[in-house]
Amino acid sequence: MSSAPGPEGPPTVLPRKRRGIELVMLAFALLLGLGAYAQVDVNVTGALGPRFVPVAVGCTVGVLLTHLAVRWRLPYADPLLLPCVVVLNGLGLAMIHRIDLISEPVAHGARQQLIWTTLGVVVFLAVAVGLRDHRPLQRYPYTIGLVGVVLLLLPLVPGIGTAKFGAQIWIQVGPYSFQPAEAAKVLLAVAFASYLVEKRDVLALAGYRVLGLDLPRARDLGPILLVWLLSLAILVLQRDLGTSLLFFGLFVMMLYVATERAGWAVLGLLLFAAGAWFGYLNFGHVRVRVGAWLHPFSDFDAYYQVISAQFGYAYGGLLGTGLGLGRPGLTPLARSDFIAAAVGEELGMAGLMALIMVYGLFVARGLRTALQCREPFGKLLAAGLAFAFALQVFAIIGGVTRLLPLTGLTTPFMSQGGSSMICNWIIVGLLMVISHQVRRPVATAASYRPDLETTQVVRVA
């Protein structure tokens, strides 16, 4: 905090912008990512590759542009969100580059990922510059929600929907494919926040009291039952366990934050358990994932992916084999779904835990923004975006490490894929906009005037 003297009274306390701290942390994060990329080249080929200099220049320019845009348009935004993202994005790019070098001829996954990262940064800049205040988004809850639901179900449309790896979650337009559920996640978080701000007083009313817990009234169960049925439809029709879990979990959490009624959370857990049991009994792909979770070594052919990841963790041990010195390419989908397994092998369990801590720091700063926010829409939106991010990380890394069944979600900012990368950069932009509004001073004028008998209060976030 800093002090500025008022015109006729004690100093007014103003929040610091902390952009200098952000710049130092961004430089450190960029150094980590480029250092990892260079180490991969040196350990695999013995020298820096020809792509290192263009990659280093492009990443440096991108980081500087994001910092300058924040310094210009969002000077009071949280200073740790961007550095966390740069660390994750940089390490993910280095790991994809490492897996590229395994194949002959060398694959171009890292180049594609760099292109998607560039597009993500462009979208972030558009959000930071064009959307300086998040509150206008509250005006269109039903329109935004309808667009989100349409995007969720779009892969079911014949002709554009396509199945990959057993899940009907992609749309194909010419040579390009897109996973619309990633964009729907952002839109539905906005729609849920807008809707719950309007209805929270009604939804907070208590019904029957059971075992000391106030359950919601039966007449208010419509929204949660509708969302539950939609999540079951995603599980049944698209065979996508991860999106179903993320979509329903996001709504239940935001409902709990809006009403502060634990009964909604308990009801949501019961409905989720019922849906999971229904899916296990009726769908073979769910049973396969549960089998890979509980008994991976019982069927080598069916569960090879999970088995290979476990051997990779064992080979890496606590400190890892070193970047470029392991064999992460033996695990199928190591660039996307199982990139956490590649990190665990070459950076060890210590490196994987450090990565999880970076994710945890990002989520903590997002939740801190929600706690500091005094208007309900921003509070719900920040909490929803942070929770969706946390749930996605928990589900995918938990599945890869066999803490949970596999869900097929992406590892944010690390997995190869354009739709996930771009939409996660949008989430960062929205959180930065909200944190700027929360932390900036509301007024800078002054103190008590005895002659006028008025007082101006400065709110400090």
What is the residue-wise DSSP string for 335-396? TTTTHHHHHHHHSHHHHHHHHHHHHHHHHHHHHHHHHH--SHHHHHHHHHHHHHHHHHHHHH
pLDDT at residue number 165: 62
Q: At what angle do helices 109-130 and 418-439 cross, to 10 degrees?
A: 30
Q: Residue 267 — pLDDT band, cuts 50, 70, 90?
A: confident
Which is more confidently placed, 297 or 450? 297
Neighbours of 225 (CB within 10 A): 11
Lowest mean pLDDT among 67-71, 104-108, 210-214: 210-214
The pLDDT value recorded for residue 109 is 86
The packing angle between helices 141-153 and 222-237, to 10°, is 20
Query: Residue 220 pLDDT more than 80?
Result: no
Strand, coil or helix: what is 299?
coil
Residue 12, pLDDT above cutoff 50: no
- Residues 66, 81: contact at Cβ < 8 Å? no
Contacts of 88 (CB under 8 A, 6+ apart): 355, 358, 359, 362, 412, 413, 414
User: Which of 211-225, 253-267, 399-413 is predicted with the least confidence, judged by mean pLDDT?
Assistant: 211-225
136 to 69, 139, 195: CA distances (angstroms)? 21, 6, 14
114 band by pLDDT with thresholds 50, 70 and 90: very high
Alpha-carbon gap, residue 351 to 358, rounded angstroms: 11
- Model confidence at 301, pLDDT cuts 50, 70, 90, reads confident
Average pLDDT over residues 295-316: 89
pLDDT confidence tier of residue 282, bands split at 50, 70 and 90: confident
How many CB atoms are located within 10 Å of the residue 453 CB? 7
List b or e across 207-216, with b for residues whose CB sees 16 or more CB atoms inside 10 angstroms: eeeeeeebbb
Q: Is the pTM of this model over 0.95?
A: no
pLDDT band at 78 (very low <50, low <70, confident <90, very high): very high
Mean pLDDT of the chain: 85
In this predicted structure, the answer to whether residue 456 has a pLDDT above a threshold of 50 is no
Residue 164: what are its φ and ψ, rounded to 5°?
-135, 130
Round to whole Å and give the CA distance between 111 and 97: 8
Task: Name which residue leads in pLDDT, 114 or 12.
Answer: 114
| pLDDT number for residue 126 | 95
What would the pLDDT profile of 309-339 be if each residue is shown by its tens digit?
999 999 999 999 999 998 998 888 888 889 9
pLDDT surpasses 90 at 423: yes
Residue type, position 119, single letter: L
Calculate mean pLDDT across residues 334-354: 93
For the chain, what percent of residues have pLDDT higher than 90? 44
Q: Quick one: pLDDT at residue 175? A: 67
CA distance 369 to 317: 37
Average pLDDT over residues 207-222: 65
CA angle 339, 25, 44 (to 5 degrees): 40
Question: Distances from the Cα of 172 to the Cαs of 147, 179, 366, in angstroms?
Answer: 18, 9, 33
Calculate mean pLDDT across residues 422-449.
79
Question: Over the stretch 81-111, which tens digit does the pLDDT of each residue have?
Answer: 999 999 999 999 999 999 999 877 777 888 9
Q: Give the pLDDT score at 265.
A: 85
In 3-state terms, what secondary structure has residue 402? coil
How many CA atoms, within 13 angstroms, populate the side-chain half-sphere of residue 51?
A: 20
Mean predicted confidence (pLDDT) in 189-197: 91
| Predicted confidence (pLDDT) per residue in 39-51, tens digit | 999 999 889 988 8
Could you tell me the pLDDT band of residue 211, with boundaries at 50, 70 and 90? low
pLDDT at 215: 63
